[in-house]
Structure 1
């Protein structure tokens, strides 16, 4: 008989649930028992050793990915990258999980399944009791190392998102500090951007250039492009009607985040219907 120790009884019972729903669970369930304060006990016999190894390999693998992955990601963030704020940790874990999910985690980590099977075979064949966490730590170092790479990518993405949010807030503050030069601007996004005043009269490039606050560009050179954002923030319209059929466009998203409730998005066709 082999004893498998877990950090908590909850984990042991959870793994037992994975056993119960496995295709071989009904057949082999009687050989795997839970004992309070002790963990799981596995009865070993040669007659069903191959099936038992297959069952436990699947169960360990799925348990690792579904139940332990998030706690491992958090451990990496805390111990390797020294994150402490709960909000930051949760945000980065969410990004890392999305990256892993996007790369089809069961394919990405398929090598670990073989490692798990080989490790289990060693313990079961010699009837050696072990801890699930120690097993994972020492047998699955490559898995842990691959998680570090995902966490690094998630941190980079998180920092980029933070920079973007700071950028949005900076431009939003600039916008709300300015006096409005026009009541309404109609901005048509159709093979580029075209500006129109409240009477739907198009503003040519020279008119737009004259409206740009040059100080705005000098002080925020890294942040504001001169063709769309700089004119919009310089004009600071009380209302921005934005006509586009590409609401997912990055610049469209940025504009609506800056103008918030001052902006209204409509389809391109609406512009031509509304224009006199």
Structure 2
């Protein structure tokens, strides 16, 4: 982990540098879509596949320090629009799901409004803000299926303390149109279907398939540590792993999923991570 951590010392960049860098990566992604379209998942079915492979729900509203609750309410609008774009999508064998190619660019013309966007260790408002909650949900559920994660980006900053956290730190997938994408490839011999909906309090999701799953999965955290760096900041690191279990509950494998490193934007001494201890 040491090499990845050593590259995380904060660097101040001008607005021009940030704008130019973003435009470069956006254009690079558009070019990749053009020359390497791949076998993309784009078929929808109104019929729900028979078996539930994975399911999860996340709360729509959280009270976050120094965050205007109106941005949270606006996030619900954005999630509703995006979820409708994805609900019922099939990933057939050999196809790849792309979060942004399926949703499209979030614009005001499509009904998206200003929500909270994480930005270099802080937050600001931006059109379509809050869609990371949906990419986080889809990624977390995918870890409980045989779908292969072919592109996922970790959060570089740990912005808020672990208040009411129910999943391991670093188990999400950040997104930014279009260069930070979430992509899943179906290397199995059966289709998988994404189902999404919102109620008054939760965002709900499921991955479904047409045969009873052979395995279930347990996702867990390993090697968690918080380190005080020579330049004075704290870095939080861990690894995400998962166990594969047969229908009878017997272990059938254990594999690494992801490695995470994030700059902590709050003091671990004032807000210690839930269920963990700080280290050096």
Q: Could you state the TM-score of these two structures normalised by the residue count of structure 2?
A: 0.23
More strand by share: 2
Decide which structure has the larger Cα Rg and report it: 1
More helix by share: 1
Q: Could you state the TM-score of these two structures normalised by the residue count of structure 1?
A: 0.23
RCO higher in structure (CA 8 A, sep ≥6): 2
